[in-house]
């Protein structure tokens, strides 16, 4: 069972440069503030900051070794990624296919477009309704050893070759990946891009019934001691359906980030209160991740007008969606996300930022804090200009001198105090209640026995006050966060 504590999300090289640096950072600053660590892909990879893995059996040597991964798992819940939809075109599996064609033992792992069309006796227009995060065509052309070319499915980029997850060959490799990750004492496997993994004509090819069958198969080959987390950006009802299927134990609350931004922008808690009242507690709560701030995830929870004005506000605060409007050549701008750090999205307002984190930490679920958010990082326009990759605005790599400067910020110290309270106060193991309040306020209360912890957030004043029973003295404490 996962610890009911805050988790850190970080790349293996973003806090000092290596996995050992990540461990040192946690030991120095977070030992009493977190209960888990999500290490973003540390595998050898050809693109997308690790999400075009060559394999899941190795640690990229520039990051460290498996012992560095296991060292973190000794003291903290460990979350790792299984890229369920694709592998890198440079992987040994795909390269063997390019060298040997249909004679390769891995040939059936990959989705040749012509084979898929023939299998279903359709033309390419049968896939016109495919749901994708990019506007480009969903396939790429590759040259085989004999001079022939093949169109192969690539939902994301030409570095990321889609897998035929229904083939025997793919499932054999997938099980090998799962078994190896489990042997490293992981607690939670995040199924990256799993919603795109099965293709059928005349459908969206996104979370169709056959996709749920695949996820159920993954659950069947993963020990019950290891939980599964589905990474799905879609309407809130989709997350509920995913949990109800029983194939995963956890989903993300990707609705919360934009709902919270809207609440702080508008001064109204109405939409947030509605969501808190209907959402599942089996959610990983986030405000920021390595991806963008979800927009499609609030479908039905915010009106199109509310989404538009909130997005415009974030753009005015520097989100790179505004670069699209000015014609700047930035690749990989998402069709359903805003690219910004969360601190910058809030106008780099310390009080608004702490109010947002208070909301995140006090609603049911396990909260995760992205390393850039932990350090109150601002939009990295220099990195964005260098790479022309929209998401890199929120993926700054911190050197140790930068870490030391960031940790000295008052807003970071305020956030750390809040994280320690959330991770250690016994009230959070008890019962949650959303208490009545005026439209511009949220009152979130946890109670366990005689112990309680209550947050009162004033959205118009951007102020959060916490009242709680001190765990050692038994005194009633009232503090502005």
**pLDDT tens column, 421-464:** 999 999 999 999 999 999 999 999 999 999 999 999 999 999 99
What is the mean predicted confidence (pLDDT) over 159-175? 97
With 50 as the cut, is the pLDDT of residue 96 above it?
yes
pLDDT at 320: 65
- Pairing outcome for strands 431-435 and 441-448: antiparallel
Q: % helix / strand / coil in the chain, to the nearest 5?
A: 40, 20, 40
420 has a pLDDT exceeding 50:
yes
Measure CA 269 to chain center: 25
Residue percentage of the chain with pLDDT more than 70: 96
Predicted confidence band of residue 387 (pLDDT cuts 50, 70, 90): confident
Residue 192 appears among annotated catalytic residues:
yes
Which of these is catalytic: 21, 68, 231, 253?
Answer: 231
Catalytic residue among 48, 77, 162, 192: 192
Q: What is the pLDDT of residue 106?
A: 97
Query: 384 is written with which tokens?
Result: 């964005």
pLDDT value at residue 336: 74
Q: What is the distance between the alpha carbons of residues 160 and 91, in angstroms, rounded to a whole number?
A: 10
Helical axes 256-266 vs 350-362, angle rounded to 10°: 130
| Cα 414 to Cα 419: distance, rounded to the nearest angstrom | 9
DSSP for 253-290?
A: E-SHHHHHHHHHHHS--HHHHHHHHHS-SSEEE-S--S
pLDDT at 479 over 80: yes
**The token pair that represents 11 in the structure block:** 């790349």
Nearest residue to 375 via CA among 395, 391, 347: 395
Is 382 annotated as catalytic? no
Residues 6+ apart with CB under 8 A from 323: 330, 333, 390
Q: pLDDT tens-digit profile of 136-145?
A: 778 999 999 9
Out of 122-136, 158-172, 408-422, least confident range: 122-136
Q: Which two tokens stand for residue 375?
A: 């350090």
Distance CA 364, CA 462 (A): 21
What is the spatial distance between Cα 427 and Cα 433, in angstroms, rounded to a whole number?
Answer: 12
Going by pLDDT thresholds of 50, 70 and 90, the confidence category of residue 389 is: confident
Sorting pLDDT into bands at 50, 70 and 90, what band is 321? very low
Beta bridge partners of 448: 451
> pLDDT per residue over 33-59, tens digit each?
999 999 999 999 999 999 999 999 999
Nearest to 382 by CA among 393, 390, 398: 393
Confidence band for 125, pLDDT divided at 50, 70 and 90: very high
DSSP-derived pairing of the beta strands 283-285 and 227-230: unpaired
Q: Do 159 and 148 meet the contact criterion of CB atoms below 8 Å apart?
A: no
152: which 2 tokens?
């192969």
User: With 0-12 CB in 10 A as exposed, 13-18 as middle and 19+ as buried, what is 156?
Assistant: buried
User: Model confidence at 247, in pLDDT bands (50, 70, 90)?
Assistant: very high
pLDDT digits (tens, 9 = 90+) for 257-266: 999 999 999 9
333, pLDDT greater than 80: no
pTM of the model: 0.95
The closest alpha carbon to 157, from 118, 196, 203, 114, belongs to 196
Is pLDDT at 334 greater than 90 in this prediction? no
| Contact status, residue 436 vs residue 326, Cβ threshold 8 Å | no
Section 8-20 average pLDDT: 98
Residue 32 CB coordination number (10 Å):
10
DSSP string for residues in 178-245: HHHHHHTT-SEEEEETGGG----TTS-SSS-HHHHHHHHHHHHTS-TTSEEEE---S-HHHHHHHHHT
pLDDT at 335 over 60: no
Residue 15 has what DSSP assignment?
B
Mean pLDDT (the chain) is 94
pLDDT (average), residues 138-167: 94
Residue 400 has pLDDT above 80, yes or no: yes
pLDDT of residue 325: 41
Q: Which CA distances in Å does 366 have to 27, 37, 77, 359?
A: 21, 12, 12, 13
């Amino acid at each position: 069972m996962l610890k009911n504590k805050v988790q850190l999300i970080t790349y293996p090289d973003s806090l000092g440069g290596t996995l050992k640096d990540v461990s040192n950072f946690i030991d120095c600053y977070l030992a009493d503030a977190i209960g888990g660590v999500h290490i973003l892909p540390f595998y050898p990879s050809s693109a997308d900051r690790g999400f075009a893995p060559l394999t899941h059996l190795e640690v990229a040597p520039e990051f460290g070794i498996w012992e560095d991964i296991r060292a973190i798992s000794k003291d903290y819940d460990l979350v790792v990624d299984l890229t369920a939809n694709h592998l890198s075109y440079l992987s040994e599996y795909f390269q063997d296919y390019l060298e040997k064609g249909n004679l390769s033992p891995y040939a059936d792992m990959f989705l040749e477009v012509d084979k898929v069309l023939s299998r279903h006796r359709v033309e390419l227009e049968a896939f016109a309704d495919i749901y994708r995060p990019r506007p480009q065509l969903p396939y790429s052309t590759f040259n085989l050893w004999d001079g022939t070319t093949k169109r192969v499915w690539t939902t994301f980029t030409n570095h990321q070759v889609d897998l035929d997850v229904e083939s025997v060959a793919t499932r054999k490799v997938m099980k090998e990946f799962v078994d190896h990750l489990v042997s490293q004492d992981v607690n939670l496997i995040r199924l990256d891009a799993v919603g795109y993994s099965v293709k059928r004509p005349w459908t969206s090819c996104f979370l169709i019934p056959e996709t749920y069958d695949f996820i159920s198969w993954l659950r069947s080959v993963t020990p019950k001691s290891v939980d599964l987390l589905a990474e799905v950006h879609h309407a809130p009802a989709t997350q509920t359906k995913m949990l109800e299927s029983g194939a995963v134990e956890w989903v993300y609350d990707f609705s919360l980030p934009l709902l919270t931004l809207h609440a702080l922008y508008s001064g109204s808690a109405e939409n947030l209160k509605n969501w808190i009242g209907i959402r599942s507690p089996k959610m990983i709560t986030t405000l920021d991740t390595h991806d963008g701030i979800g927009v499609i995830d609030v479908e039905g929870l915010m009106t199109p007008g509310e989404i538009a004005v909130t997005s415009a506000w974030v753009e005015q605060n520097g989100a790179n969606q505004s670069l699209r409007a000015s014609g700047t050549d930035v690749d990989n701008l998402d069709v359903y996300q805003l690219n910004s750090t969360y601190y910058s999205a809030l106008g780099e307002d310390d009080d608004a930022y702490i109010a947002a984190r208070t909301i995140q930490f006090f609603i049911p679920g396990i909260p995760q804090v992205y390393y850039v958010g932990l350090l109150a990082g601002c939009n990295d326009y220099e990195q964005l200009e260098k790479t022309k990759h929209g998401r890199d605005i929120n993926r700054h790599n911190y050197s140790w001198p930068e870490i030391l400067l960031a940790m000295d910020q008052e807003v970071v110290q305020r956030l750390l105090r809040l994280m320690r309270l959330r991770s250690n106060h016994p009230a959070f193991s008890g019962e949650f209640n959303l208490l009545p309040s005026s439209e511009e306020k949220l009152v979130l209360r946890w109670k366990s026995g005689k112990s309680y912890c209550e947050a009162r957030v004033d959205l118009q004043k951007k102020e959060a006050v916490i009242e709680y029973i001190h765990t050692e003295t038994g005194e009633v404490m009232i503090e502005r966060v």
